[in-house]
Amino acid sequence: MSILNNAAAVLSCYGAGCTDVTVTEVSERLGLPKASSSRLLRAMREAGMLETIGGTRRHRPGRMMLDLAAAFRHSSSLISRASEVVVTATRQFGHTGYISLLDGREVTAVADFEGTNLLRVVSNIGRRLPAHLSATGRSLLARMSDEEVRRLYDGAPEAKVLLRELARVRSQGFAVSEQESTEGVDGIAVAVGDPSTNEAIALCIVFPHALVGEPERDRMIAALGDGAEEIARSLGDRAFIPPKLENRITT
């Protein structure tokens, strides 16, 4: 068990609302002796991976993580192109937009773009959601074959329902979330990929459930879909599914 794995295990503690840790908490969560935890956190501090909050015992990720997250975002021309599309839609409609990607069975937001309407949506960056319970996740899963989805959700009770849901997403070319992950907030998502890097991302807009009617939703779907289609064409994404509003299935 290398120290690098221990360090990564410490870093994995962050998330799901955990913003800082102490020596004792690390010791308990990783099952390491106190002495090892103390030395590990110290070494990580000195390497810049962690920093203490105001000289207290509380350790948070070091500020180098800001640079690293940005480098991740900039490493992908797919993300850059999709960001342009979502920014434009965010400005056009005034609602908040996201770029998200899959990591195992979860989605995580890569970038967000604040809207101007009255709805202040908590930033999704750093917040992981089950893929099958979010529009972005479903739009991304819909790009996979049923066999691939079955393998990913092997043994999971939600697999059967999910496969039916994904058939629907494929038919429509977009995924919809209705107050699913946030009360009062709906979302629409369209996924697109880059075959040269074998990655895919979801473009998403979220908006207040009660204030946005179907005509505006259609316009947003079209805006995301047209932009994503342009990206798919220029990157050669043969798995792209263009949104077809006439195929919309209402619940």
Partner DNA sequence: AACTGCGGTTCCATTTTCTGGAACTTTCCG
Partner DNA sequence: CGGAAAGTTCCAGAAAATGGAACCGCAGTT
* Residue 39 within binding range of DNA, rule CB under 7 A: yes
Tell me, what amino acid is at 247? N
User: From the CB of 22, what's the least distance to its own copies, in Å?
Assistant: 13
Q: What is the DSSP letter of 121?
A: P
User: Which listed option, its own copies, DNA, none, makes contact with residue 151 (CB within 5 to 8 Å by class)?
Assistant: none
Distance (Å, whole) CA 238 – CA 189: 18
- Could you give the C-alpha distances from 101 to 22, 106, 207, 217, in angstroms and in order? 30, 8, 20, 22
Among 12, 18, 19, 33, interactor with DNA by CB under 7 A:
33
The token pair at 236 is: 């050669």
The token pair at 215 is: 């005509």
* Residue 44 within binding range of DNA, rule CB under 7 A: no
Please check whether residue 59 is in contact with residue 46, taking contact to mean a CB–CB distance below 8 angstroms: no
Assign 64 to helix, strand or coil: helix
Q: Residues in contact with DNA, total (CB under 7 A)? A: 22
User: Which listed option, DNA, its own copies, none, makes contact with residue 63 (CB within 5 to 8 Å by class)?
Assistant: its own copies
Please check whether residue 82 is in contact with residue 228, taking contact to mean a CB–CB distance below 8 angstroms: yes
Binding residues (CB under 8 A) for its own copies: these are 2-5, 7-8, 11-12, 14-15, 18-20, 43-44, 46-49, 53-56, 60-76, 87, 90-91, 101, 103, 108-110, 113-114, 116, 120, 123, 125-128, 194, 196-199
Q: Which burial class, exposed, middle or buried, applies to 36 when counting CB atoms under 10 A from its CB (0-12, 13-18, 19+)? A: middle
* Residue 32 within binding range of DNA, rule CB under 7 A: yes
* Residue 22 within binding range of DNA, rule CB under 7 A: yes
Residues 52-91, one symbol each (x = binds DNA by CB under 7 A, - = not), give ----xx----------------------------------
Q: Which residues bind DNA (CB under 7 A)?
A: 1-4, 6, 22-25, 32-36, 38-43, 56-57
